[in-house]
Amino acid sequence: MSLLGIHLTLMLGPTVAVPAPASFMESLQNVEVTHNDEGRSGFQLTFGVGRSGPMHLLDYGLVGHPLLKPMNRVVLLVTFNVIPQVLFDGLITHRTLTPSQQPGASTLTITGEDISTAMDLDQKVHEHPAQVEPIIIAQLVLSYAQYGLIPVIIPPPSLDVPLPIYRTPVFRGTDYAYLQEMASRYGYVFQVTPGPAPLTNTAYWGPPNRLGIPQRALSVNLGAQTNVDSINFQYNALASTSVSGQAIAFGRALPVKTFASLRVPPLASQPALLSQSRVRTSLLEDVPDGAGYIAAFAQAQGQTDASTDQVLTGSGELDATRYGDMLRPRGLVGVRGAGFEHDGFFYVRNVTHSIRPGEYKQRFTLTREGTGALTPVVPP
């Protein structure tokens, strides 16, 4: 599928996907991909199907094709000006056939989720005596090497080593649920991102990624440089929350309290004040030294940081042919032309790509901890 310098490539197969036959691309009517910074991302492919000859007497075309079996792998590549980028890598989980009495109107819809789906199939009992989170995470991710998973792990500020003579944490659930639970302790995220190369995926466990080079800026009301069709901003003064409680260390109950977001780097010159408070009676069980107190504060601060991420939210839509690139979540993007209060850099929370012949739209959601730009100029 091609449009104005943009080319879409579809790959299908069991564990290793291969380029789809030309008949698949001719029947492909619509592609929708949603990337989220939390939870799993998903895709939907809509094919036109029908009965056009002796080969289709028993069933609609493509319906029984082995490349479209459930749990097969789907890889989507988008090429902008001869530079290919991995749009999605996932597994087929649902199929929907919609027959129609109108000629050429029957459709087959293939729906699926990213590769982390494979990590959420089997219930297990997880016990890792005397092992901290980064080691456990690396072991779990590397056990799915057949999907090209590359672990990227950012350790939290402090780790509490669960010594077997005191306790051995036990978690009952899937590998994916365990990775998410460990991330939530520190206000971190676990996410599987397609790429950087086809048939590889990056498994990231750490704080929301605010580092790296910002993406091409979203331009509003700038004449010929405008690349955003629509955008609006919402401010939630009740989102930011402080966390307080107690951590038991050295046999004593010590207070723990958070006061402000510590996200690095900060994105707003006027961050929101913490307007609500949450009290937890105990943040950690008894531990033999002060490491437990530091770990308890790290967990409480992570929850505060996660709440302030939702203070200022921007949502909108852009035309990929004018933007000239793929907007990716889990990173930074600049906004310019919306005024000082709403210009500056934002964290990209999610992006939905809608592709059909002659059209490529991207809907997005941006977040940060308050209003006001930190820089006088946002590079294009």
> What pLDDT sits at residue 257?
85
Determine phi and psi for 370, rounding to 5 degrees. Answer: 170, -170
Compute the half-sphere exposure of residue 21: CA atoms within 13 Å on the CB side of its CA: 8
> What pLDDT sits at residue 344?
96
Whole-angstrom distance, CA of residue 342 vs CA of residue 335: 8
Secondary structure of residue 367 in the 3-state scheme: strand
> What pLDDT sits at residue 178?
93
Q: Which two tokens stand for residue 92?
A: 């087929």
> What pLDDT sits at residue 23?
87
Cα of 56 vs its chain's centroid, Å: 40
Q: What ranges do the domains of the chain cover?
A: 119-206, 215-236+312-371, 241-308
> What pLDDT sits at residue 137?
94
> What pLDDT sits at residue 4?
52
Single pTM value for the model:
0.85
At the topology level, CATH places domain 119-206 in: Phage tail protein beta-alpha-beta fold (3.55.50)
> What pLDDT sits at residue 287?
43
> What pLDDT sits at residue 288?
44
Whole-angstrom distance, CA of residue 3 vs CA of residue 88: 19
Q: What is 215-236+312-371's CATH superfamily?
A: Baseplate protein-like domain - beta roll fold (2.30.300.10)
> What one-character DSSP code corresponds to residue 297?
H
Whole-angstrom distance, CA of residue 380 vs CA of residue 377: 9
> What pLDDT sits at residue 207?
87
Show the DSSP H helices in the chain as ranges.
Answer: 22-27, 133-142, 175-184, 291-308, 320-323
Per-residue pLDDT of the chain (380 residues; tens, 9 = 90+): 545 568 899 999 998 899 999 989 989 999 999 998 888 999 999 998 876 655 555 567 788 789 999 999 999 999 987 788 999 999 999 999 998 878 778 899 999 999 999 999 999 998 888 788 899 999 999 999 999 999 999 998 777 677 766 667 788 999 999 999 989 888 788 999 999 999 999 999 998 888 888 999 999 999 999 999 999 999 998 888 888 877 776 667 778 888 888 888 899 999 988 877 877 645 554 444 556 677 778 778 888 888 888 899 999 999 998 998 999 998 999 999 999 999 999 999 999 999 998 899 999 999 999 999 999 889 88
> What pLDDT sits at residue 333?
96
Nearest to 91 by CA among 177, 30, 14, 25: 14
> What one-character DSSP code corresponds to residue 197?
S
Q: Which two tokens stand for residue 225?
A: 């440089």
* Sheet order of strands, 276-287 included: 252-257, 241-249, 276-287
Amino acid at 72: N
113: left (phi over 0), alpha (psi -120 to 50) or beta: beta
Nearest to 133 by CA among 169, 108, 167: 169
Whole-angstrom distance, CA of residue 149 vs CA of residue 143: 9
Whole-angstrom distance, CA of residue 297 vs CA of residue 186: 9
> What pLDDT sits at residue 286?
41
Break the chain down into helix, strand, coil percent, rounded to 5: 15, 45, 40
Cα of 219 vs its chain's centroid, Å: 23
Cβ within 8 Å of residue 66, ≥6 positions away: none
Transcribe 43-97 into DSSP letters: EEEEEE----SGGGSSS-TTTT-GGG-TT-EEEEEEEETTEEEEEEEEEEEEEEE
- Helices and strands, counts by H and E, the chain: 5, 24
Element (DSSP H or E) covering residue 365? strand 359-368
